[in-house]
Amino acid sequence: ELKVEQNPLFLSMQEGKNYTIYCNYSTTSDRLYWYRQDPGKSLESLFVLLSNGAVKQEGRLMASLDTKARLSTLHITAAVHDLSATYFCAGSPYNNNDMRFGAGTRLTVKP
Amino acid sequence: KAGVTQTPRYLIKTRGQQVTLSCSPISGHRSVSWYQQTPGQGLQFLFEYFSETQRNKGNFPGRFSGRQFSNSRSEMNVSTLELGDSALYLCASSLAAGYGYTFGSGTRLTVV
């Protein structure tokens, strides 16, 4: 069974600063996903990473995947308050939708 | 286009009762998965259905069951409710493996 570990679990940032959230997984995972969850809300899909070396960017967020290291990163550039949320990574094998989540990183961006 | 619809949004049940939650996926999506989210355990995978067949199952007791209908709508049932079953239950649908999921708003179940 795929195990997914995120760190840090809690992250408090100043606006304008950069930081990276790390996601390690235990076995071969051909698909890596990043989701955002606001308090009391459901999960919003941010990125789907499908292959080694994949890099995707949306606004101040950039995600990458290194399947050899079994590592994905979510990089935050020049954080703003609106990015405050919990971010989850999840992985699944190539051939099915058995998607397993990490514990989440609760990000707080302070002025 | 319409997203993933879960009903009801909130539910309060008594220990020992059973409950059925409903999920309507995005039109054309044939894969539906269910997750339980709690503060202590995080997001835990319950099961996945594709074309009316359960393809994957998480580590939950047999009290948790599900099914999928020919129109891809899915239901999950929890029998003999326990206090620990209080959680946000999320349904998600996907076009196919590897496309990622779109999540519904969830059903918040409280067992008293």
**CA angle A105–B95–A54, rounded 5-degree value:** 50
Q: What is the DSSP string of A39-90?
A: TTS-EEEEEEE-STT-EEEETTEEEEEETTTTEEEEEE-S--GGG-EEEEEE
Weakest-pLDDT range from A18-22, A60-64, B48-52:
B48-52
**Which of A:20-79 have CB within 8 Å of B?**
30-31, 33, 35, 41-45, 48, 50
Residues of chain A above pLDDT 70, percent: 96
Q: Which two tokens stand for residue A67?
A: 């399947």
Average pLDDT for runs of 10 along chain B of length 112: 91 98 96 94 93 92 97 97 97 84 96 98
The pLDDT of residue B47 is 93
Q: Please determine, for residue A10, whether its predicted confidence score (pLDDT) is greater than 90.
A: yes
Q: Can you tell me the distance from the alpha carbon of B17 to that of B6, in angstroms, rounded to the nearest whole number? A: 20
- Residues of chain B contacting residue A33, judged by C-beta atoms under 8 Å apart: 100-101
Q: How far apart are the first and last CA of chain A?
A: 41
Comparison of pLDDT for A45 and A31, the residue scoring more: A45
